[in-house]
Structure 1
């Protein structure tokens, strides 16, 4: 394993197309169920970034996690009698180089959407319930997937060339902005897209005992960002066994690892907040599954154990010919907004992998943070604008639709909510 690298030149390769958060399958109808005759509003990218609030993430805390499954009955995996965790991400096992993989092919869809009968935020809420995390839901400003934040950042940074996307939005209580992923398949390996990321993940990780049916591991984190109280869900690719603490701590809230203990470039000097980096290695995890029970339309299976934030890793692939032109303005916010510690890149030439390189977000990332700070400030401004718009339209189901680089807000011709009625009541102040 090569030495950890922190700083890389901030350029985008002119010889390859940068990948958006998720390329839509040709023929997807972004305007499905929308009243398109009169848009509610057309949003514009802020001309200048605002310094009113800081983009530094404060008070970050992991509040829940779960695994989606391939079961026909909508099911998520959470742990048994563990008040600080749910489910388990796949374990990094590595792969000897060189090796060759075929490109990713075929449609893929969001497990979060079709695992819960059209209530895309329900697994998030149930996972937080499972560990008993304290969340003041009426005072939360934004509940969103990291994917939605990345799409907005993509539009902010590349409005003229932004890929088309849709995000459904709704108001919880008096002011909580709920942002949920629109159900759409994505196809990889067609046209000028030749990706190897899914094959790389499958070749270098394995599901832990009790989570064999897992199709994805999701974690939920809460923090303060740009004056907004955020709850963010994100998918985790794997964890590094050798990065786990030598001694497992207790499960009380006071002992729970806080992601804010890791610096992500916000400080000029990270030394005081940096822990020793761990090499990629294999390990074991043995937590037997217990009985399942049904909650609303969602079955819950107990398995797995808590995985500390400091061992979480994001996996991706890049052509070895352009690694020094790594697109940090896209990669860094993905890790920053989820407080993901490690980034692992498989370097290949037409699917032949010759090197696996690791980066530590807790070391020397000031250049990367400063390069995206303006975009993060604009993201905060856009989220605030959307929250204000929802407060002006209580009870209406709206959608953000980006087509041809133009981001418009439409009303949906449906009364269906992203959460069951009894769960939506949590956002109402008593």
Structure 2
């Protein structure tokens, strides 16, 4: 990996910005599996030893299940679901709905200072290490009082979904993240906590700082997070990601931002302080920024389409520099490119949909265990029993709220995409849960009569 110019997050100039553990900026060096087994920082985050293997998936096995997939594996009905911003004021707040920085380019050519210092890997985990997905959940309920979690199949960060997509595309990457079913929903949770990327070099953060503006709160907001809702492979997904910026003018007309209608007079349950501020920005104006030295050649848009597809980001800005002098900045609408990529990668995406379904099934089946997903290099995708301190996707109060609003699902995971066959549609290697060293002694479910219809409840025998 090159040091400097993968797309960066914002940094604000200050004397304290280079201190270890600083919250300024973040880094997406892990977007294409950079945190692999040769990364010296990888074990720093995941110090707990790997637990017992529960089940693993191979690409050969997933090819068989993907062959049974009916129809096409496409994203449909994509819509804005929620958003929030994070700042460095303490105690940390969740600013709802927040607002992404607006694209305000400078005249070219222009010289920018080089990036320096340390950057956070995970803005949510750094501020809320116990429950990094909870700010997104609070934003969902706050912005939509009628929000119904009962039909949400998958909720997670785009980086975790990207890890799984890299697996089905046979891309070398090493990762591990927590998985848990709450109600009917599979949560995918990456938590890098306060891990930093040291000694960052390049001009990506500096470019974001110069070419975008948070307007009135430039020195406060450090990250804008968005949640999009869409259907994929018969599953309803909520996907959280960090947003670079948005276009004030899109498709020849001004972007229509709207003021949310809600009150914080009776805040939802939870310990995270919320603040009402910002505007709702439509998804079709959101953009991604990538910088690169002209000496290193052209930015290949095709390499970034999987990332943009998962986040449904239609605008892509490429910026080239020579020793920090930017003189070539291009804005592209890649909406049609995303559709073409989706069409040309149906085999991969059918495997992707199939393994998401199987993850839901398997994590529900083993719901009495704490689980994580793990992969090393080009190896299989594994579900392992998680060791170390107990972790939950949500705090108890928010977990109760999510479950209370979730009616028992009678939806068969095989509908809308898979065959009606049972688990044999997903060949895999299973390790009996009776072998668990970390489970409660003598505790087991009898799944003899259970199926995806009941979510492998353990009570149908």
Smaller-chain TM-score bracket: 0.7 to 0.9
Structure 2: which 5+ residue stretches go unaligned? 8-28, 408-461
In the alignment, is residue 389 of structure 1 matched against residue 362 of structure 2?
yes
Please state whether the residue corresponding to 1:314 is helix, strand or coil. Answer: strand
Query: What corresponds to 2:53 in structure 1?
Result: 39
Structure 1: how far apart are the matches of 2:333 and 2:223? 23
Structure 1: how far apart are the matches of 2:187 and 2:198? 28
In the alignment, is residue 427 of structure 1 matched against residue 403 of structure 2?
yes
Give CA-to-partner distance per residue, 1:7-27, whole Å, 9 cap, x none: xxxxxxxxx999641644624
After TM superposition, the structure 1 stretch with the greater mean CA deviation from structure 2, 403-412 or 310-319, is: 403-412
Q: 1:211 to 1:102 in 2, by over 3 A?
A: closer
Contact in 1 for aligned 2:94/2:273 (Cα 8 Å): yes
Query: What corresponds to 1:122 in structure 2?
Result: 134
Structure 1: how far apart are the matches of 2:202 and 2:118? 11
Structure 2: how far apart are the matches of 1:134 and 1:211? 33
Structure 1: how far apart are the matches of 2:54 and 2:306? 29
CA displacement at 1:349 relative to structure 2: 3.8
Query: What corresponds to 1:135 in structure 2?
Result: 147
Contact in 2 for aligned 1:400/1:408 (Cα 8 Å): yes
Q: 1:17 to 1:116 in 2, by over 3 A?
A: closer
Query: What corresponds to 1:216 in structure 2?
Result: 223
Contact in 2 for aligned 1:34/1:411 (Cα 8 Å): no
Please state whether the residue corresponding to 2:316 is helix, strand or coil. Answer: strand
TM-score between the two structures when normalised by the length of structure 2: 0.70
TM-score between the two structures when normalised by the length of structure 1: 0.75
Give CA-to-partner distance per residue, 1:277-327, whole Å, 9 cap, x none: xxxxxxxxxxxxx99979522111222112122211111123435655615
Contact in 1 for aligned 2:77/2:230 (Cα 8 Å): yes
Structure 1: how far apart are the matches of 2:326 and 2:257? 38
Query: What corresponds to 2:247 in structure 1?
Result: 240
Q: 1:218 to 1:415 in 2, by over 3 A?
A: same
Query: Matches of residues 141-290 of structure 1 in structure 2 within 5 Å?
Result: 141-159=153-171, 161-162=172-173, 164-173=174-183, 175-183=184-192, 185-187=195-197, 195-210=202-217, 212-243=219-250, 246=254, 248=256
Query: What corresponds to 1:58 in structure 2?
Result: 76
Query: What corresponds to 1:334 in structure 2?
Result: 307
Contact in 2 for aligned 1:67/1:218 (Cα 8 Å): yes
Please state whether the residue corresponding to 2:135 is helix, strand or coil. Answer: helix
Structure 2: how far apart are the matches of 1:303 and 1:34? 42
Query: Matches of residues 97-112 of structure 1 in structure 2 within 5 Å?
Result: 97-98=108-109, 99-103=111-115, 105-112=117-124
Query: Matches of residues 274-353 of structure 1 in structure 2 within 5 Å?
Result: 296-320=270-294, 324=298, 326-328=300-302, 330-353=303-326
Structure 1: how far apart are the matches of 2:233 and 2:128? 31
CA displacement at 1:416 relative to structure 2: 2.4
CA displacement at 1:365 relative to structure 2: 5.0
CA displacement at 1:247 relative to structure 2: 8.5
Query: What corresponds to 2:125 in structure 1?
Result: 113
Q: 1:222 to 1:201 in 2, by over 3 A?
A: same
Equivalences, count: 366
Please state whether the residue corresponding to 2:98 is helix, strand or coil. Answer: coil
Structure 2: how far apart are the matches of 1:156 and 1:350? 38
Task: Kindly name which structure, 1 or 2, has the bigger radius of gyration based on alpha carbons.
Answer: 2
Query: What corresponds to 2:450 in structure 1?
Result: none
CA displacement at 1:368 relative to structure 2: 3.0
CA displacement at 1:199 relative to structure 2: 2.4
Contact in 2 for aligned 1:103/1:196 (Cα 8 Å): yes
In the alignment, is residue 416 of structure 1 matched against residue 398 of structure 2?
no
RMSD: 3.3
Give CA-to-partner distance per residue, 1:21-47, whole Å, 9 cap, x none: 1644624326433453x3222222333
Contact in 1 for aligned 2:259/2:280 (Cα 8 Å): no
Give the counterpart of 2:335 among 362, 373, 378. 362
Structure 1: which 5+ residue stretches go unaligned? 1-15, 79-85, 254-289
Please state whether the residue corresponding to 2:141 is helix, strand or coil. Answer: helix
Please state whether the residue corresponding to 1:118 is helix, strand or coil. Answer: coil
In the alignment, is residue 28 of structure 1 matched against residue 42 of structure 2?
yes
Please state whether the residue corresponding to 1:396 is helix, strand or coil. Answer: coil
Structure 1: how far apart are the matches of 2:322 and 2:266? 45
Query: What corresponds to 2:89 in structure 1?
Result: 71
CA displacement at 1:166 relative to structure 2: 1.7
